[in-house]
Amino acid sequence: MLKGVLAFVAVIGSVLGSQERYTYNGELWKREIDLVDYGKMDLMKTWSDWIQYFGKEYSSVEEEYKRFGIFLENLQKIALWNTDSSNGASLRPNQFTDLTNEEFVQYVHGKNGRCISEVNRPRFIIGGGHKLPTSRNKIPDSVDWEAAGKVTPVKNQGNCGSCWSFSTTGSIECNYAIANNELNSLSEQQLIDCSQAEGNEGCNGGEMDDAFKYVIETGGLCTEEAYPYIAATGKCKDSSCGPFYDPIVNYTNVRKQDEQALEEATALGCVSVAIEANQFAFQYYSSGVLTGECGTNLDHGVLVVGYGTEDGQDYWKV
């Protein structure tokens, strides 16, 4: 594999000409690289910079060599993707570039390879007690609850299959902020540690509707600060983490296989959804609109925070 990748680089370099071949730029790998960028890289120095930037350490020379080969292969795939303008979205190297796709899925989805429970219901869920419109009223052409200041900054779930908890808190935070003009960052760790009775399995997966049930029963959640995230399943501390915030009274299922219903729900607030995220583009997404097949093997809980149209392409903001 390593020889094949290095041979590929040599071909690109010859096309660019000897003056530009292996022109090193330490910041180049941080960009949405294409094949021209790839051909200019000094790959050993790029690897060294990437390791230092993300604080990577390996157990042996053999392990580092293996990771270097995977890193080169992923750089090449990213460059090929970005060179093809038909893809729409652009990708960029990140902290996962030394992982295979299978390893990445295991890292973010837990030991079961999915952080949504096996029940895997093909539906969308909205939290916060909103009722969906009974008729198809006119809705805005675009909505962006993040831009409106109703969404907390993106959080990092780390090496724990807890996506369902982040989708849940995101939905409740957003919808409560819309209704009360108060944005609180809620504790995912509380859901991970304390909602097993409702059917969730901590870092081994769960479902947003089971998490909503817990929040209804408890009357809200502690804040992120009071019950901080540790990316592991721990002992429940909901009796000592302080006051609960953002109570909800119910949750509502969006009509199955109905995008207009999802638009209507998103016009009211943020919506918890499940997607098939075990695809290469999700591992390295940087900007633009992802097009193509979304997949139906739902394995990851996320949050729809808006929708709109960009350059004639309709999109969901997730």
Compute, in degrees rounded to 10, the torsion defined by CA atoms 281, 150, 145, 276.
30
pLDDT digits (tens, 9 = 90+) for 126-146: 333 344 444 556 899 999 999
Annotated catalytic residue, options 115, 130, 157, 174:
157
Distance CA 232, CA 235 (A): 10
- How does the average pLDDT of the chain come out, rounded? 85
Helices then strands, each counted (H, E), the chain: 10, 9
**pLDDT at position 118:** 54
All structural domains of the chain with their residue ranges: 2-98, 113-317
Annotated catalytic residue, options 160, 163, 203, 270:
163
Architecture of domain 113-317: Alpha-Beta Complex (3.90)
CB 35 within 8 A of CB 80: yes
The yes-or-no answer on residue 300 being catalytic is yes
pLDDT digits (tens, 9 = 90+) for 30-85: 999 999 999 999 999 999 999 999 999 999 999 999 999 999 999 999 999 999 98
The yes-or-no answer on residue 106 being catalytic is no
The yes-or-no answer on residue 130 being catalytic is no
pLDDT digits (tens, 9 = 90+) for 145-188: 999 999 999 999 988 999 999 999 999 999 999 999 999 999 99
% the chain with pLDDT above 90: 64
